[in-house]
Structure 1
Amino acid sequence: MNAPLPASRPDLAHPGPPEIRFGPSAHSAWTLGADGSVSFVRHAPPPRPLRLAATPQPVQIDLARTALVVVDMQNDFCHPEGWFAQKGLDIGAARRPIAVLQTLLPAWRAAGATVLWLNWGIRADRLNLSPTVQFKGKGRADGVGYGERSPLDRGPSLVQGEWGARRIDELEADPADITVHKHRLSGFWDSELDSVLRHQGVSTLLFAGINTDRCVFTTLQDAAFLGYDCVLLEDACATSSPTYVSDGVLYLVRLLHGFVASAADLMPALEAARVSALSSASSAS
């Protein structure tokens, strides 16, 4: 049995309060010490490099500073009763990334990397949607626009918190995933996406989802303008546009904005990184 603490050492008998962290992550936090001092020292995790085949050159990413951004895989675009389907649009392309992501997402999370869902989620009153956005969403007098209800009513289209803005059931989320709602093609326009990523210490973005030539490309392009490292996962994206449109996007990404890779190549790279981490942990113990 341990001897009681001496009465002359009340500091040991009643230790001071623990450090308290202020900030969204260890990447971006102050700590308040037991002595009342404030530390600005951040605690970034050690790098976890992963080499990935890509064009025009192979790249090495840091899993500790990389997020997989899954764009618009939500009911109003991908579900047979969603906004797009009820407009008469073919949702086959919108559903194409599902199978790829069902395999990729668990492996990505197992590697300890960040998943960010980027979904349309507008204000119900549409006060920040310009005439251009509202017209292109509706198109004609009898059309169903943003925030309006389709004939088979699943709630107002693309409104944050409603059915149409939610992730499709075929893709499971994890409590550690991050969700950001947007109200333009680009997820960076007038949203908190940039702030969320920077406070998580993220500097590299991998892109998946729909549509390759619209929300995926405009978000990637803005990310590159803001200084992020960008990789488009070609086989984890899709679009209903003609093939030549996607070809143009891939050309521009390779030429100007970043790199093009595939989930098919990323999967074995993640497994190799997982095996290497287990081996290193085993050797250390």
Structure 2
Amino acid sequence: SLGNDVSRVTAIVPTVKRLIEGFRAAGLPVIHTMECHRPDLSDLPPAKRDRGNPSIRIGDVGPMGRVLIAGEPGTAILDELAPLPGEIVIEKPGKGAFYATGLGDDLKRLGARQLVFAGVTTEVCVQTTMREANDRGYECLVAEDATESYFPEFKAAALAMIRAQGAIVG
């Protein structure tokens, strides 16, 4: 609905799949995140719904169900990257995976100290979650070839920020 070319972001699917498979093979936990909202939109602030100039907005009916609503086909994790039974799935109403979710509790329960990030988009959800994790004391690593943006210059800028000053956020 924003008019973005999704070919850039879908190109990383095989790389993300290999990364997930490697974690599973090593017996390491895999946590999936997905930005979505409750069907009644009670977790969607008006400022977020009204932002931008899309042809359809969050909660509106689109070609794959209601946009960014939990349980709708267009919000589902891709089949190639689907969680296995027992893997944690975080439904997040914000850009960062810690906001209004149980991610912090899940990581404590797992005894996690180091996190590896992949997914989309580099400059929004990935970087926001990585910064939140860094603030909480986690060692953070972004798998650069397993993350992407609709805009190459945004990915480059986000990675430059992450690497800056001796990798200040990861």
For the criterion TM > 0.5, the same-fold answer is yes
Report if the CA contact (8 A) 2:83-2:89 is conserved.
no
2:155 paired residue number: 246
1:28 paired residue number: none
Where 1:232 maps in the other structure, the secondary structure is strand
Q: Following the alignment from structure 1 to structure 2, what is the Cα–Cα distance between the partners of residues 122 and 234?
A: 28
Report if the CA contact (8 A) 2:121-2:147 is conserved.
yes
What amino acid sits opposite 1:226 in the alignment? R
Where 1:119 maps in the other structure, the secondary structure is strand
The alignment status of 1:117 with 2:32, answered yes or no, reads yes
Structure with larger RCO (C-alpha < 8 A, sep 6+): 2
2:169 to 253, 257, 278: 257
Segment of structure 1 superposing worse, 157-166 or 227-236: 157-166
Shift, 1:248, TM fit: 2.1
Shift, 1:237, TM fit: 0.3
1:103 paired residue number: 18
Q: Following the alignment from structure 1 to structure 2, what is the Cα–Cα distance between the partners of residues 207 and 187?
A: 11
Gaps of 5+ in 1: 1-83, 259-285
2:61 paired residue number: 149
1:131 to 25, 46, 53: 46
2:99 paired residue number: 189
Shift, 1:217, TM fit: 0.5
Q: Following the alignment from structure 2 to structure 1, what is the Cα–Cα distance between the partners of residues 77 and 152?
A: 26
Give the number of the structure whose alpha-carbon radius of gyration is greater.
Answer: 1
What amino acid sits opposite 2:30 in the alignment? V
Segment of structure 1 superposing worse, 199-208 or 161-170: 161-170
Percent sequence identity over aligned pairs: 29
State the Cα deviation string for residues 97-120 of structure 1 (Å, max 9, x = none).
201022222222010001110001
State the Cα deviation string for residues 113-136 of structure 1 (Å, max 9, x = none).
011100012111222222221112
**C-alpha RMSD of the superposition:** 1.6
1:174 paired residue number: 84
Gaps of 5+ in 2: none
Shift, 1:88, TM fit: 3.0
Q: Following the alignment from structure 1 to structure 2, what is the Cα–Cα distance between the partners of residues 172 and 182?
A: 17
Q: Following the alignment from structure 2 to structure 1, what is the Cα–Cα distance between the partners of residues 85 and 43?
A: 30
Shift, 1:203, TM fit: 1.6
TM-score, length-normalised on structure 1? 0.55
Q: Following the alignment from structure 2 to structure 1, what is the Cα–Cα distance between the partners of residues 162 and 3?
A: 31
Q: Following the alignment from structure 1 to structure 2, what is the Cα–Cα distance between the partners of residues 161 and 91?
A: 21
Shift, 1:166, TM fit: 1.2
What amino acid sits opposite 1:88 in the alignment? G
1:263 paired residue number: none
1:224 paired residue number: 134
Shift, 1:159, TM fit: 1.0
Q: Following the alignment from structure 2 to structure 1, what is the Cα–Cα distance between the partners of residues 19 and 115?
A: 15
Report if the CA contact (8 A) 2:116-2:143 is conserved.
yes
Shift, 1:96, TM fit: 1.8
